A and B are shown apart, each in its own frame.
Chain A
């Protein structure tokens, strides 16, 4: 079937099969950005504007947009924000702990009083020694087991940063991956100019910090991740039954 649409401001005509999605039609007819990824309306990589409103093009039939305007990322002007994750920049380990405590609202502690600090510091002959510190502030609903993260502060010894903003974003992304495996997901030598690494180290910290914070909040220790609401609910229930 033939459909007419306005694509990024230009009148366009496509020949499509009735069962084609808008995403598939965009791929057939153009090289415009709309990525095949989850194909379930979750990830957002195929988002386009339909009549000015964002929609997932994987969930729209091509025939539906006949007579409508469609805008891909190429049809937009371009731009940032403050989120859940804070990244500490330019600090020694001692300073990072000090700043982290203050960001999260704790009384400042000397590094020697923070338990298991030695284990926070990577020691390996094969890669550059680095440290990573995570701070987590969260709330747990003891009746439903839900966890509400308020803030995560991450400090990583990334060495010389060739692009500080990109390093921050790399750390933020890694922390988000790390907190997801802590809470949600089931399964799964110095470089140029003295750069080490910043993406891998902060992935490891959030789960431990979050599990410790949950233990601090409701007095139960979860020894399996993800710490889903139901696992927390069950652990609280079992600890009540024991006592």
Chain B
């Protein structure tokens, strides 16, 4: 049994932080618990945030989608605001996490706050430029998800609480795709890649390649991304385009630092980054090309 002396419920995010700081002893936030309860950490008390009012999904007046940190992966998989956002890739990712009973408990906040390099929701959220909202007892802060992870299983939070995330209306039409290979024994990702591309009149004006399970933290392959900036997908012939995609995938594979352990070798994980990045970019760029051909056809 988990040796804790107190189990506290927080009614609001500031109350959660205040309970956490009050003590006595060392406390821990508990959301879904599907990861925490596998290896309960040594602590004195638990602050249960499942009743802190942060389990909502809402559209803001500006058209952004707000995801409360307590939203379960099952809700992410099925909520219409999420299934209709940027092609619904975040919903698809959520629907493939663990198994149904786990998705019914596991939360998006918990997935990110555990800060495992293999966190399933991290790559697609990075590819969607998600913003994190963090609360302290009497102050709030927001920052890009890119700055949230600071080391293996370490976030920027300390005792503060992640309240939720926002996906900007500006990326609601971003063309996204993601893919992962998992270890069958424990469902942990061996390599996970998410890509997102914004195109205007055939020209790429934002490209994201986000990677999980292949470095100490989830991260973006910024060098590979920048190679895609400004690229005109209609001006090149098929072969040049396909060579360019292969080069970008090679670059992305060069930006990772995978661990060598029993689930998979570093060499294999790195090669998976190359293969998955190439396939996802091929898919996304082909979709964009097909869509622009359709639009051109409609105009003529």
List residues of A whose CB falls within 8 A of some B CB. 1, 17-21, 24, 40-42, 44, 47, 50, 53-56, 58-61, 63-64, 143-144, 146, 183-184, 186, 229-230, 233-234
Contact = CB atoms under 8 A, between A and B. Distances in A.
B155 interface: no
A218 to B, nearest CB: 15
A40 B265 CA distance: 25
A18 B5 contact: yes
A181 B7 CA distance: 42
B275 A18 contact: no
B1 A19 contact: yes
Q: How would you classify the secondary structure of chain B's contact residues: helix, strand, loop or mixed?
A: mixed
A18 B38 contact: no
Given A53-B74, A59-B102, A233 B268 contact: yes
A21 B37 contact: yes
Contact of B104 (A17, A54, A64, A234): A54
A7 B46 CA distance: 24
Given A44-B99, A184-B185, A17 B105 contact: no
Contact of A64 (B2, B33, B38, B265): B33
A54 B101 contact: yes
- 6 nearest CB pairs, A to B: A19-B2, A18-B7, A63-B7, A53-B104, A184-B184, A19-B4
Interface in B3-28: 3-7
A63 B32 CA distance: 13
Nearest to B105: A55
Interface of B: 1-7, 30, 32-34, 37-38, 40, 45-46, 48, 50, 74, 98-102, 104-105, 181, 184-187, 264-265, 268, 271-272, 275-276
Given A54-B100, A184-B184, A59 B5 contact: no
A42 B101 CA distance: 9
A18 B4 CA distance: 6
Given A64-B33, A64-B50, A56 B3 contact: no
Contact of A61 (B48, B101, B186): B48
A59 B105 contact: yes
Nearest to B38: A40
Contacts of A234: 268
Contacts of A144: 181, 272, 275-276
Contacts of B1: 17, 19-21, 24
A41 B38 contact: yes
A122 B3 CA distance: 55
A59 B37 contact: yes
23 contacts: A18-B5, A18-B45, A20-B1, A20-B2, A21-B37, A40-B38, A41-B34, A41-B101, A47-B101, A53-B74, A53-B104, A54-B104, A55-B105, A56-B34, A61-B7, A63-B7, A64-B30, A64-B50, A146-B181, A183-B184, A184-B185, A230-B265, A233-B268
